[in-house]
Structure 1
Amino acid sequence: MIVSIAQQIKEIDDQLSKRSIQLDPGGYFIIYLEPEQGLIHAKHFTNAIDENGLAVDPATGKPIPAKGKVNREATTIFSGHSAKEVCVKIFERSEICFVTMLDHAAYLGRELQRAEQALINQQEYIQD
């Protein structure tokens, strides 16, 4: 059976998504689209990392759940019409360093590109 390049890439990406990662003490982002306005948004939230490597709310010390609704206030929201515009705002125009790990920066770039493609193709975007 011949496997397409797209299928090979998907299989590799699926395997890589199962790896263990360290969380960025600089915080995390929730990325979402506003298709009517043609916008990509990236909400930044602070966190602390506990001794077990879990992201915790700096105010309460309680773990931040990875799934479900979390009532926390974003420190800022970065918005733009393209992945590049949002990345420039986060990494080049901000006076605060919101991303302290290179793997987190690479992840954000990939996710913002995925969000941009979903926006262009009028598809649903779900952050990985």
Structure 2
Amino acid sequence: MTTTPEAPASTASAMDALDQRLSQRFIALDPSGYFLIKLDRDAAELVLEHYGNTIDDKGLARNSETGELLRCDGGNAPRRPSTVYRGSTAKQLGIQLTEGEAPHPVSRLDHALYLGRELQKAEQCLRDGTVYVQD
């Protein structure tokens, strides 16, 4: 693997500030559902759990089975994923999501881009043994 020089601190700070600002923008939820990304270090794999949801007329995500509003603080009853994807690399999982059997679990381009970024981060954490936290 080739290494590249790190960006100067001022450049890195500007990049971090831009990323923080962009994270505050409004995003429409993907009606196809959401994903939780985990690492299985014993198997040396990335684990991607897909959960279905329904988006109501206010743009809020609801449990597609119960209609319950999905909370961000983990206060909902435990749910089982509708599908679990596993792979050794971000690329392998990306191919499963986009080239696998239809219907595809991602219906929005911004969601696909987000997943790509997060899967790359998760892969790097798997490679270097650091903790992965999904953004």
Do Structure 1 and Structure 2 share a fold, with TM-score over 0.5? yes
- 1:96 positional shift: 1.6
Q: How do 1:5-24 residues align onto structure 2 when only pairs under 5 Å count?
A: 5-24=11-30
- 1:69 positional shift: 5.5
Q: TM-score, normalised by structure 2?
A: 0.88
- 1:3 positional shift: 4.6
Match of 1:29 among 31, 35, 50: 35
Asked if residue 61 in structure 1 is aligned to residue 67 in structure 2, the reply is yes
> Quick one: distance in 2 between partners of 1:59 and 1:77?
18
CA-atom RMSD in angstroms: 1.4
> Quick one: distance in 2 between partners of 1:69 and 1:32?
19
- 1:35 positional shift: 1.4
**SS at 1:40 equivalent:** strand
**SS at 2:126 equivalent:** helix
Q: Which amino acid aligns with 1:121?
A: D
Match of 2:104 among 97, 107, 116: 97
> Quick one: distance in 2 between partners of 1:118 and 1:94?
28
Aligned to 2:55: 49
| Closer/same/farther in 2, CA of residues 91 and 69 from structure 1, 3 Å limit | farther
> Quick one: distance in 2 between partners of 1:120 and 1:9?
24
Q: Which amino acid aligns with 1:119?
A: L
Match of 2:94 among 79, 87, 90: 87
Q: Deviations over 1:42-78 (max 9, x none)?
A: 1000000011111001111111111226411111101
Match of 2:83 among 76, 79, 99: 76
- 1:109 positional shift: 0.4
List runs of 5+ in structure 2 lacking aligned partners.
1-7
% identity of equivalent residues: 39
Q: How do 1:112-123 residues align onto structure 2 when only pairs under 5 Å count?
A: 112-123=119-130
